Amino acid sequence: MNHNADCPEGRSQLFTFPRRELLQRLASAALLTIFPVHQSAAKLPAKYPVPSFQVGDKVADHWIDEFEIAQIEYGEVVGICWHPDEEVWGYHVNWTSGTMPSEYYPCYDGHLTIGGDLRGHDLRTVNHV
């Protein structure tokens, strides 16, 4: 089959311009000019403070539960995130042990722990419950 038999009148399908794509692109461009992209209102500091903990650091969280009982949990930092509202570093922690029953551990709950709530934790000097 020669080129002319495949494409009547010698036109190749590679050089045709699909009308549907043209309309979609024009509509997209028009919408972007009518509705500007929303910019984040969060103001970032010129220079972030140094985080207290790094990924891999062992930490402890001391907190009071709903029955007014002091609890301690031990874990490892697995993520660091700047909290723009509080203007502090927040940490994602994989909790490995603590004063709660052992069936609760290990636990990664996905909650951001604000840095002021955490304390450095050395596994050699702290007895685990």
pLDDT at 37 over 50: yes
pLDDT at 99 over 70: yes
| 83 part of a folded domain | yes
| 42 part of a folded domain | no
| 129 part of a folded domain | no
CA distances from 105 to 4, 75, 102 (A): 72, 10, 6
pLDDT at 83 over 50: yes
Query: Using an 8 Å Cβ cutoff, are 106 and 95 in contact?
Result: yes
| 39 part of a folded domain | no
* More confident: 10 or 68: 68
| 48 part of a folded domain | no
Give residue 34's pLDDT: 72
Tokens of 129: 């419950």
Q: Residue 124: CB partners within 8 Å, gap ≥ 6?
A: none
How many Å apart are CA 57 and CA 55, to the nearest integer? 6
| 44 part of a folded domain | no
Instruction: Output the pTM of the full model.
Output: 0.56
* Structural domain range at position 24: 3-34
Q: Per the structure, how many domains does the chain have?
A: 2
Average pLDDT rounded to a whole number, residues 23-51: 68
